[in-house]
């Protein structure tokens, strides 16, 4: 649905987006990760046709964004950063306005508006003006606007920013449900969201893609992935070191596999060692790897990296 080739955006001498290429198919939910100023919002603004790229091509649903902007905009639902909407309008008035701009009229419009009101739980604030709403409601109003025309492509810039944990949970669930038959791209700082909603994630840093894969694949890039943490009475680091590098934790040991191919049997080997020495196991688990560790390792400048 979305195909991006060699996308570049320069602001003066600064390259905000530097030769990015990726595709998103229908049924995919792509998480867009990266530190502040990495180029996430700029990329999304180019996909939605708000900013023209300096060079490169974007096609959405087979249309070229630069050549047929109106056709591509029809396919896209967009939740901009900070969920901007007209503060002087009521929620109902705003949704009606957005639906009319989308070319919906009469019964179709009423139905579409009613549908997104239910989807985003806006019933109780319909006739309130937007500037009197709490941040969560403002956000959902803007999200509702993006869903009005049941778009095939959904672009969301930090859809859970400023929401409380319950609302975050709802929005993530909504994204996952919608993702079944749409192509969705959303940006976030929150790594747990990648697990909660994404089928694939891209990490972007200083305008370049530095990682692209399923959450599972990204996690396995963590140096902790495959390590086994053991908490057992009687266990000693010297004994465990026969299996791999050992890190002492608070009352436990973390054993790292010598290489990733050995990771699969490591747990088994630890169990055997425990049995041989008759240690009393209080807890043992194998680590899947931590996304935030991967994120930090890839996106921190070399000077800060330890």
Shorter beta-carbon distance to other proteins: residue 72 or 160: 72
CB 74 within 8 Å of CB 116: no
Output the smallest distance, CB 151 to other proteins, in A.
Answer: 11
Helix (H) or strand (E) holding 91: helix 91-101
Question: DSSP letter string over 245-269?
Answer: EEEEETTEEEEE-SSGGGHHHHHHH
Neighbours of 36 (CB within 10 A): 7
Q: Which is nearer to other proteins, 22 or 78 (CB)?
A: 78
Question: Smallest gap, in angstroms, from Cβ of residue 270 to other proteins?
Answer: 54
Q: How far apart are CA 286 and CA 224, in angstroms?
A: 9
When the beta carbons of 52 and 62 are compared against other proteins, the nearer one is: 52
User: CA 215 to CA 235: how far, in whole Å?
Assistant: 33
Distance between CA atoms of residues 251 and 237, nearest Å: 11
Q: Classify 63 as helix, strand or coil.
A: strand
Q: Which residues bind other proteins (CB under 8 A)?
A: 9-12, 16, 45, 48-52, 69-70, 73-74, 76, 78, 80-82, 84-89, 93, 97-98, 100-103, 142, 145
CB of residue 103 to other proteins, shortest distance in Å: 7
Q: Which is nearer to other proteins, 50 or 121 (CB)?
A: 50
Beta strands in the chain (DSSP E): 2-11, 14-24, 29-33, 55-60, 63-64, 76-79, 153-157, 183-188, 200-205, 208-213, 228-233, 245-249, 252-256, 280-286
**Minimal distance, residue 145 CB to other proteins, in Å:** 7
Residue 97 or 279 with smaller CB distance to other proteins: 97
Kindly tell me which of 74 and 297 has the beta carbon lying closer to other proteins.
Answer: 74
Give CA–CA dist 39/26, Å, rounded: 24
**Beta carbon of residue 182, minimum distance to other proteins (angstroms, whole number):** 17
Residue placing its CB nearer to other proteins in the complex, 9 or 172 = 9
CA 111-164-198 angle, to 5 degrees, is 70
Question: Looking at beta carbons only, is 148 or 175 nearer to other proteins?
Answer: 148
As measured in angstroms, the least distance from the Cβ of 90 to other proteins is 9
Residue 116 to residue 249: CA distance in whole angstroms: 49
* Closest to 100 measured CA to CA, from 86, 117, 89, 112: 112
Beta carbon of residue 84, minimum distance to other proteins (angstroms, whole number): 3
């Amino acid at each position: 649905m979305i195909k991006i080739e060699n996308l570049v955006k320069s602001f003066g001498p600064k390259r905000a987006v530097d030769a990015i290429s990726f595709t998103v198919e229908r049924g995919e939910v792509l998480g867009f990760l990266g530190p502040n100023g990495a180029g996430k919002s700029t990329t999304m603004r180019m996909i939605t046709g708000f900013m023209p790229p300096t060079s490169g091509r974007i096609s959405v649903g087979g249309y070229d964004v630069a050549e047929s902007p109106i056709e591509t905009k029809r396919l896209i639902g967009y939740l901009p950063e900070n969920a901007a909407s007209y503060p002087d309008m009521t929620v109902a008035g705003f949704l009606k306005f957005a639906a009319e701009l989308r070319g919906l009229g009469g019964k179709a419009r009423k139905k579409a508006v009613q549908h997104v009101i239910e989807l985003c739980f806006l019933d109780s604030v319909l006739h309130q003006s937007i500037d009197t709403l709490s941040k969560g409601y403002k956000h959902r109003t803007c999200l509702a606007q993006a869903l009005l025309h049941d778009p095939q492509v959904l672009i969301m810039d930090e859809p859970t920013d400023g929401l409380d944990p319950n609302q975050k949970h709802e929005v993530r669930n909504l994204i996952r449900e919608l993702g079944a038959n749409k192509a969705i791209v959303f940006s976030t700082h929150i790594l747990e969201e990648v697990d909660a909603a994404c089928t694939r994630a891209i990490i972007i840093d200083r305008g370049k893609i530095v990682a692209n894969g399923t959450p599972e694949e990204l996690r396995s890039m963590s140096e902790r992935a495959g390590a086994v943490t053991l908490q057992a009475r009687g266990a000693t680091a010297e004994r465990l070191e026969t299996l791999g590098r050992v890190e002492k934790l608070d009352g436990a040991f973390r054993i790292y596999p010598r290489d990733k191919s050995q990771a699969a049997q490591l747990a088994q080997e630890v169990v055997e060692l425990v049995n041989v020495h008759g240690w009393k196991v209080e807890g043992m688990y194998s680590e899947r790897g931590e996304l935030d560790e991967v994120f930090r390792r890839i996106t921190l400048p070399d000077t800060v990296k330890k």
